[in-house]
């Protein structure tokens, strides 16, 4: 059987398209690298491209979010992430992602009203929830319940009707905190907490997570501010794995609830939305400040596979702009919750001090990233580790549905159908059962 490497070796010097004079337009974006439009590449030259992970391939035109990892830039609709965190709440940002501009006071009031009065879910969903095991991971519950929304809200699902798309967007943004809180409360055996119409979006999410019927719920203003900052920086991040998943599923014209459920499944992966969980796991593994030097030594050893979670980023080759924003909210919330002297947080702050001052980390630009600070903030305000990724899904819903809407309204969109570099066997004769030889199964 031909191996992938041998398949590449056979053809590596055969590039017939170099001998042809095909012309491919160069597209110039508002920001970022120019792109070669290779839509007619196979038609013109007879060859295709291989780009594993799509690291060099654009899959759409988008006007929503711009990321420049080399310069540490993140902008939503042209607005810098730090300006948005300091001057907006989550619903301002959700409106911006959906509509392209920040809302006027009247638009914000109407949007707030619509989200508030869509936040309850059909009461039958509580019975659906009880079909899950108590120890089910909240992300498993969220995948199932989000996908099931299309069964409970099957009206207004004409994806080519602008009013229907708006209603679906409002429903998803409004109901995701309720679903996430339901999953959490169910897992710990507490009564489900209904949304409150007198609270803002983030405060309402917190009360659904933490309130109990036997006493009044009190919000900590610093906790609300920090949680709001986390939610805003998580709202979108260009064409990441989960956003691409939403667009890919949506390209088949699947309903938007199914598309977002698929996005949740993608976000669940430890290389994506689970990264801030990894930060807390790392801190728990270190155990105490006394163990930090040994861990730093391991992190610096190129022959040791150990990686210090929460430092450096695949995209950002300088200080993660989201981390810069969250750093000050992290300090504020630690102070407000009286956690600065907690051993876990003291250890985290010592790690931060080392990373910001150690030449090894500075030269390699291994600065504390967004997951480092968001993990500390979520831990401080009481979000359990199992809910970290579920909370992320709530925040990212505004970005997902904005990209889905942009894709559906793009006349150039096509169903996603990637090519592959086939490296399997060529045509071979059928072998009767009695003549077959034992072989090692690909799946044991």
Contact 144, 152 (CB under 8 A): no
Would residue 371 show up in a list of annotated catalytic residues for this protein? yes
Residue 134's nearest CA partner among 190, 66, 71, 189 is: 189
Choosing from 371, 403, 426, 439, the catalytic residue is 371
Residue 223's nearest CA partner among 238, 203, 244 is: 203
Chain-centroid distance of CA 112 in Å reads: 24
Helix (H, G, I), strand (E, B) or coil at 68: strand
Q: What is the C-alpha to C-alpha distance for residues 2 and 183, in angstroms, rounded to an integer? A: 47
Choosing from 118, 313, 320, 403, the catalytic residue is 313
Q: Residue 165: which residues within 8 A CB-CB, separation 6 or more? A: 159, 256, 405, 408
Q: What is the C-alpha to C-alpha distance for residues 49 and 395, in angstroms, rounded to an integer? A: 35
Residue 246's nearest CA partner among 395, 391, 93, 399 is: 399
Q: What is the C-alpha to C-alpha distance for residues 250 and 256, in angstroms, rounded to an integer? A: 7
Q: Residue 206: which residues within 8 A CB-CB, separation 6 or more? A: 219, 223, 224, 227, 381
Contact 93, 232 (CB under 8 A): yes
Looking at the chain, the number of H-run helices and the number of E-run strands are 19, 5
Give the pair of three-digit tokens for residue 36: 């070669």
Helix axes 388-408, 370-381, angle to 10 degrees: 120
Find the angle CA(267)-CA(275)-CA(397) to the nearest 5 degrees. 35
Give the pair of three-digit tokens for residue 65: 């979010």
CA atoms within 13 A on the CB side of 52: 2
Would residue 164 show up in a list of annotated catalytic residues for this protein? no
Give the pair of three-digit tokens for residue 190: 């507490």
Residue 228's nearest CA partner among 364, 87, 340, 331 is: 87
Catalytic positions: 313, 371
């Amino acid at each position: 059987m031909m191996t992938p490497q041998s398949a590449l070796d056979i053809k590596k010097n055969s590039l017939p398209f170099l001998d042809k004079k095909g012309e491919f337009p160069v597209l110039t974006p508002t920001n970022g690298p120019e792109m070669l439009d290779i839509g007619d590449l196979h038609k013109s030259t007879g060859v295709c491209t291989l780009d594993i992970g799509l690291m060099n391939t654009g899959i759409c035109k988008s006007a929503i979010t711009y990321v420049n990892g080399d310069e540490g830039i993140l902008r939503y609709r042209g607005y810098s992430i730090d300006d948005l965190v300091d001057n907006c709440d989550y619903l301002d940002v959700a409106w911006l992602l959906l509509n392209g501009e920040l809302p006027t006071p009247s638009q914000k009031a109407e949007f707030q009203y619509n989200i508030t009065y869509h936040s309850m879910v059909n009461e039958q969903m509580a019975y659906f929830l009880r079909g899950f095991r108590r120890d089910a991971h909240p992300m498993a519950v969220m995948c199932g319940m989000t996908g099931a929304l299309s069964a409970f809200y099957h009206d207004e699902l004409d994806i080519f009707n602008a009013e229907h798309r708006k209603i679906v967007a409002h429903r998803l943004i409004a109901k995701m905190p309720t679903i996430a809180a339901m999953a959490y409360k169910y897992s710990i055996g507490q009564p489900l907490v209904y949304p409150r119409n007198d609270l803002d979006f983030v405060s309402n999410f917190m009360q659904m997570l933490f309130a109990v019927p036997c006493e009044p719920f009190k919000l900590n203003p610093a906790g609300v501010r920090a949680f709001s900052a986390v939610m805003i920086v998580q709202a979108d991040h260009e064409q990441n794995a989960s956003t691409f998943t939403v667009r890919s599923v949506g390209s088949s014209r699947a309903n938007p609830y199914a598309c977002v459920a698929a996005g949740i499944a993608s976000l669940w992966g430890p290389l994506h939305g689970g990264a801030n969980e990894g930060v807390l796991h790392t801190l728990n593994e270190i155990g105490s400040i006394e163990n930090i030097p040994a861990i730093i030594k391991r992190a610096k050893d190129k022959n040791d596979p150990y990686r210090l979670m929460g430092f450096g980023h695949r995209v950002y080759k300088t200080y993660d702009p989201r981390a810069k924003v969250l750093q000050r909210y992290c300090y504020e919330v630690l102070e407000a919750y009286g956690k600065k002297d907690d051993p876990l947080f003291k250890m985290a702050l010592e790690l931060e001090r080392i990373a910001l001052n150690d030449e090894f980390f500075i030269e390699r630009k291994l600065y504390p990233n967004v997951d480092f600070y968001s993990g500390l903030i979520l831990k401080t305000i009481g979000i359990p580790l199992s809910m970290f990724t579920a909370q992320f899904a709530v925040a990212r819903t505004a970005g997902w549905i904005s990209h889905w809407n942009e894709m559906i309204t793009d006349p150039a969109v096509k169903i996603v159908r990637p090519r592959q570099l086939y490296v399997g066997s060529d045509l071979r004769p059928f072998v009767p059962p009695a003549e077959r030889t034992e072989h090692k199964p690909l799946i044991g």
